[in-house]
Structure 1
Amino acid sequence: MAITKDNVIGEVITAHPELIETFFQNGMMCIGCPASQGESIEQASQVHGLDADALVNALNDALKAE
């Protein structure tokens, strides 16, 4: 399953807890935040001023490396 900007952060973490480090490495430090349970990667990226495309690419690259 490829990750997209529409995926909810909480769902990605539940399915792939090994990606927590990739979120951290890309500036997404709010993994434990209650909002992350319902926010898409794109929504959270906008709030935190991050590049959603770069984050999604990093997450998919990390999945391929597993």
Structure 2
Amino acid sequence: MIGKDMLISELIETYEEAAPLLAQAGMHCIGCVSAGGETIEEAALEHGIDPVLLVRKLNLHLLHTI
């Protein structure tokens, strides 16, 4: 289960399929240096994205791909 406090680097390492979803949401800097140390919430807020909705979308997608 993904939470808003999860680091972007941890998310991508654990769930590779999350990277395209983040890009679709407008977070195109997944590979940048600062992204690895940011939480999903921090990165989402920095990009003007609601972190709660983003986490819900990620979890729903993962439920349907398992």
Percent of aligned pairs with the same amino acid: 42
Paired residues, number: 65
Q: Deviations over 1:4-30 (max 9, x none)?
A: 110001100001111111111212111
Runs of 4 or more consecutive aligned structure 1 residues displaced over 2 Å after TM superposition: none
- Matched residue type, 1:48: H
Q: Measure, in 2, the Cα distance between the counterparts of 1:21 and 1:45.
A: 15
Relative contact order, CA 8 A, sep 6+: which one is greater?
A: 1
Question: What is the root-mean-square deviation of aligned Cα atoms in Å?
Answer: 0.9
**When the two structures are superposed, what TM-score results if normalisation uses the length of structure 1?**
0.90
TM-score for the superposition, normalised by structure 2: 0.90
Q: Which runs of 5+ in 2 are unaligned?
A: none
Stretches of structure 1 that go unaligned for 5 or more consecutive residues are: none
